[in-house]
Structure 1
Amino acid sequence: MRHRLLRWAALGLAIVAIVAVGLPVFSVLQPDYYRRYPSLGPRMDHWTTSTHSRIACGECHVEPGFGGFVSFSARAIPAFYSQLASGPDTTNLLQPPSRAACQKCHTTYRAVAPSGDLLIPHKAHVEVLKMECTACHKDLVHSLNKDGFNRPMMQTCLTCHDGDKATAECIKCHTRKQTPATHKKADWLRVHGVAAASQDCAQCHDWTPGYCAECHEKRPASHVGNWKKGHAVPATERGDGCLVCHGGEEFCKTCH
């Protein structure tokens, strides 16, 4: 009789332990668990309308393998009981998806964007450079970029493709957006201000905030020393070129 009671007691303790451990892990992998967080509610709304809405949280946010599950559980269990007692806090238990998690479903064979215009050798980025997928695809599931899309923005690409870390030549990535012939002319820097008035420069250049300001807010190298006294001769040679920065003849009349 005593042994039977001990067995029942052991069984009861085992069930309690399983529930005490399993309930937190199961709960924190449910989307509704994160809807309680004011800062995460909108992100969960984006998830429900994304292409990943049928993918369980753990498939992406828990590192593949037994070790990844144990590591996640070690964070989830104490956090669950802490928040059960004190309410939701700002702790986000779900880490950004790792490269290994993404590759459970996605391959690196894609080399061209769905539009067909953009060359993206995923194998070179993922397998050679060992880049994390989220380095580019951070606005994929739980948020949109500033234009309201899930695809990476040009500005993200330029964090590496700056001409130093990686090439910035248009043709290396874009199959249709090559450097226009006008941009290769010797006088392009001088006349581009006039051309900008009749062309949609933003088709290519809107991805860089303050693109024009990078040059136009800097004092030209020639405008040093006794420039004010000697500027008349260069101004005559450049003609309307000065007006690109100085806003018309009224600027000259402030002194002359």
Structure 2
Amino acid sequence: MKFWKRKQKVQTEETEKKPGLFRRLWRKFRGIDWKNPVNRWKLLFASLFAVIAFSGTLWGAIAFTSNPEFCSWCHEMAPEYVTFEVSAHSEIKCTQCHIEPGAVNLVTHKIHSLKEVYYHIVGPPDPIVQTIAVTDESCMQCHSENRLVSATGDLIVNHSEHIQEDIPCITCHSGVAHAKVVERGINDSTTYDYWTMENADKLVNDSYMRPNMGSCIDCHDEVNKGNRPWEDIQYSLPENPHKDGHGKQDDDHAKAATIDTAASNLTDAEKETNEKKKVQGIILQALGKQTEDVKVSMECSTCHMEVGIPDNHQEINWDKNHGTDAIQQLDECIDCHQDSKWVKHFAKEEITSLIDAGAKRTEYNPDPAIAKIESRENNFCSSCHSSRPESHLESDVWLTAHADDAKSKQQKEQCFICHDQAKPSATTKLTAPTDVYCEQCHRTGFSGLKQ
């Protein structure tokens, strides 16, 4: 019986548990005499202290996470951080560009950014791609819309007229802070370790950060076709490979980029051919050879005050006799006529090759072989080189009389700009503008050229 009674006593103690901490505090709070003015003042001061402490903590967290150094802590942000540090915007905070002005926008953005913590844990988009455009309101915090010319005094760009047409700033200035690392293909997970301040001068230069002439030309070409491409903000943003995964921009923020079904079925070679024809057509407009339905001129003088057609280009028959100068001064020719200046998007690059090559410009040594390759593959050169020369038009006469124009080795080298000497093999990519080669007729070879 004693054992039974002891057991009953233990059960009674267990069932009579003390109330929890919050319940005890609530009971104590309810038991306070709130009619007493002293207690009400104590509550007021306690509430003020709590509000100040919470606000200070919240603002401190916002300020801390708005510092560019905070971004550098994440390994995947290395390309964005390094390019930012060497850009003209390195003295301002990331949030000044990427968040619209206003305290409400700042707090809202910080809440939305919590998803980035999730991505950091489960795996960020690879590569990271900007999906929300920097707004003009952010740019106008520091910049004026009244600029008419560039700081150098050469480039004529009426900013106010572009703004009146609702053309976003980033349509032209997309590389100003991050050197177009997405378009260049050098910000995926395989490149993070290469993005250090020591490599910055090899990976970043003004050609990537300044407005790309190809962006202006592509937009002007679209206008000449009756389009307003900037109305779809995706035109101003890098192509997003994460169409069906994280990193995709919501349809509420921008229209999804449309995909031409017919174009998507083309082979890579057909796409390359179409792109080449498009670029060459634009170049011919710039040369004044296509003037129909042109609403916005693409001639140099339309946008440039100082950079114009060189004096030697205005000599009679320059377009037919510039081969020797092109070989001797190819590096100077390419300053203006390189493909990257005539297309909107940069070609994909290989980060280790950029680092190995360094930032220094290599000295050009005149070489007909290099000039031949450049003239065939460069869109500016091939836009004219693909046309039959006037001297070749009378084929029967030219065929029997061209020996005098191909006597010396140098003259023959000029022929090889368009013609191959021997028949290209089946596995060789044909880059010549013609499939006519010398040994079709000269089957036994010819003198004056080392084989």
TM-score computed with the length of structure 2 as normaliser: 0.44
- Map of 2:396 onto structure 1: 232
Aligned length: 246
| Residues 1:49 and 1:42: Cα distance change in structure 2 (over 3 Å) | same
Q: Structure 1 CA distance, aligned partners of 2:328 and 2:114?
A: 62
Query: Structure 1's 139 and 108: CA in aligned 2 closer, same or farther, altered over 3 A?
Result: same
Equivalences for residues 75-86 of structure 1 within 5 A: 75-80=112-117, 82=118, 86=121
Equivalent position amino acid for 2:167 in 1: M
1:245 aligned partner: 418
- Tell me the SS of whatever aligns to 1:58: helix
Q: Once the 2 structures are TM-superposed, how far is the Cα of residue 23 of structure 1 from its aligned partner?
A: 6.9
Gaps of 5+ in 2: 1-27, 34-42, 182-202, 222-284, 286-293, 344-377, 407-413, 423-436, 443-451
**Map of 1:197 onto structure 2:** 327
Contact 1:36 1:88 in 2 (8 A): no
Q: TM-score, normalised by structure 1?
A: 0.70
- The structural deviation recorded for 1:169 is 0.8
Partner of 2:17: none
173-182 or 51-60: which moved more? 173-182
Q: Where in structure 2 are the equivalents of 1:170-189 lying within 5 Å?
A: 170-180=300-310, 183=313, 187-189=317-319
Q: Which amino acid aligns with 2:396?
A: A
For structure 1, list consecutive stretches of 5 or more residues without a partner in the other structure. none
Q: Secondary structure at the match of 2:379?
A: coil
Larger Rg: 2
Q: Percent of pairs identical after alignment?
A: 24
Give SS of 1:201's match.
Answer: helix
Deviation at 1:152, TM superposition (A): 2.1
CA contact (8 A) 1:160 1:166 kept: no
CA distance in 2, matches of 1:93, 1:245: 43
The one-letter code matched in structure 2 to 1:2 is: F
What's 2:124 paired with? 89
In the TM superposition, residue 99 of structure 1 has moved relative to its aligned partner by 0.9
Counterparts in 2 of 1:20-169, with a 5 A limit? 25-66=62-103, 68-69=105-106, 71-80=108-117, 82=118, 86=121, 89-90=124-125, 95-125=132-162, 127-143=163-179, 148-149=205-206, 150-162=209-221, 163=285, 166-169=296-299
Q: Which of residues 375, 379, 404 is equivalent to 1:211?
A: 379
Paired amino acid for 2:109 = F
Whole-angstrom distance in 2 between the partners of 1:184 and 1:236: 32
CA pair 154-50 structure 1, distance change in 2 beyond 3 A: same
Matched position secondary structure for 1:136:
helix
Computed over aligned residues only, the root mean square deviation of the Cα atoms, in angstroms, reads 4.5
Decide whether aligned partners of structure 1 residues 88 and 246 sit closer, same or farther in structure 2, where only a CA change above 3 A counts: closer
Q: Is the 8 A contact 1:61 1:94 kept in 2?
A: no
Q: Give me the whole-angstrom Cα distance separating, in 2, the residues matched to 1:173 and 1:55.
A: 30
Which region of structure 1 is more displaced relative to structure 2, 112-121 or 90-99?
90-99
- SS for the counterpart of 2:143 is coil
Residue 64 of structure 1: CA displacement?
A: 2.0
